């Protein structure tokens, strides 16, 4: 991830995008970008690129508690403003989105991570794994499957959607727990829970290995005969996103558009 400072604002982009997209490179070097940033009273983080640029920019900068202005320069994206909708002195609105804090203990070794879109607990050797899943220590279920994913609303368009679960309106205060190829309970559907709940997962069959991926990247492998306990909860921090008001309807309608609805 490349980061430069322009008039105390931060601009993020990646080598892949800037090497393959001349329009992005020209925009980065233009006075037009400075004019856009000067429209804001507060210093901002401008992200130029695509979804992966966005995820990396959040993880490297969320602790700064600065608002992100994301501008898409590729054909596929979800929570990025189109470059046509961003102009100097436009009206903007800020929305806040949650992300996940993940605490993992594997044979007394503790690790922590943040997940912007999802936590993915999956089988390592193609054998079914058995996971005890409890919600705020009040309700529990055992799921025998290829694993589960826990998704935030804004990024439920990704892996969660490919598993057949409907996309969640991204303003909903909820998370979704989605089993992958469940064996028991048979045909177990995804579970929608309030985002204030604490999710605890334990690998019951210690004889089978499993992996944990955070936002599509491998984070940990739990070896055979090792204990694995995972706690997932909403972070106290929030992602602050800036949206062009004239683009707001398009932004909100993406949830339905991804499910084949069309504007009349």
31-45: buried (b, 16+ CB within 10 Å) or exposed (e) per residue?
Answer: eebeebbeeeeeebb
Q: Dig out the tokens for 219 from the structure.
A: 């984070």
Please, what are the domains in the chain?
A: 2-90 (no CATH), 99-236 (2.60.200.30)
Residue 185, preceding peptide bond in cis (omega within 30° of 0): yes
Torsion from C-alpha of 27, 154, 228, 112, nearest 10 degrees: 50
What is the rounded CA–CA span in Å between residue 8 and residue 26? 20
Q: Which residues contact 193 (CB under 8 A, 6 or more apart)?
A: 135, 174, 175, 176, 177, 199
**Whole-prediction pTM:** 0.87
Instruction: List the pLDDT tens digit at each of the 264 positions of the chain.
Output: 899 999 899 999 988 788 888 889 899 999 999 999 998 989 999 999 888 888 899 999 999 999 999 898 876 666 678 888 888 888 899 999 889 999 999 988 999 999 998 999 999 888 899 999 999 988 999 999 999 999 988 777 777 777 777 778 878 899 999 999 999 998 888 889 999 999 999 999 877 889 999 998 999 999 888 889 999 999 998 999 998 888 888 777 777 776 667 766
């Amino acid at each position: 991830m490349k980061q430069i400072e322009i008039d105390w604002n931060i601009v993020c982009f990646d080598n892949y995008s800037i090497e393959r997209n001349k329009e992005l490179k020209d925009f980065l070097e233009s006075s037009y970008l400075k004019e856009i940033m000067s429209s804001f009273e507060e210093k901002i983080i401008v992200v130029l690129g695509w979804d992966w640029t966005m995820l990396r920019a959040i993880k490297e900068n969320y602790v700064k508690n600065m608002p992100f202005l994301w501008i898409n320069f590729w054909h596929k994206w979800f929570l990025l403003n189109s470059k046509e909708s961003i102009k100097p002195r436009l009206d903007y609105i800020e929305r806040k989105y949650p992300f996940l804090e993940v605490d993992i203990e594997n044979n007394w070794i503790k690790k922590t991570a943040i997940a912007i879109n999802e936590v993915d607990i999956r089988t390592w050797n193609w054998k079914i794994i058995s996971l005890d899943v409890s919600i705020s220590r009040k309700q529990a279920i055992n799921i025998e499957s290829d694993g589960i994913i826990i998704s935030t609303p804004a990024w439920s368009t990704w892996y969660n959607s490919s598993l057949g679960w409907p996309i969640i309106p991204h303003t909903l205060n909820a998370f979704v727990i989605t089993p992958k190829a469940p064996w028991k309970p048979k045909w177990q559907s995804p579970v929608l829970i309030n985002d204030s709940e604490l999710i605890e997962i334990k690998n019951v069959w210690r004889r089978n290995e499993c992996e944990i991926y955070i936002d599509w990247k491998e984070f940990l492998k739990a070896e055979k005969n090792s204990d694995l306990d995972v706690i997932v909860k909403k972070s106290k921090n929030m992602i602050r996103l800036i949206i062009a008001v004239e683009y707001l309807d398009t932004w909100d309608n993406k949830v339905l558009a991804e499910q084949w609805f069309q504007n009349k």
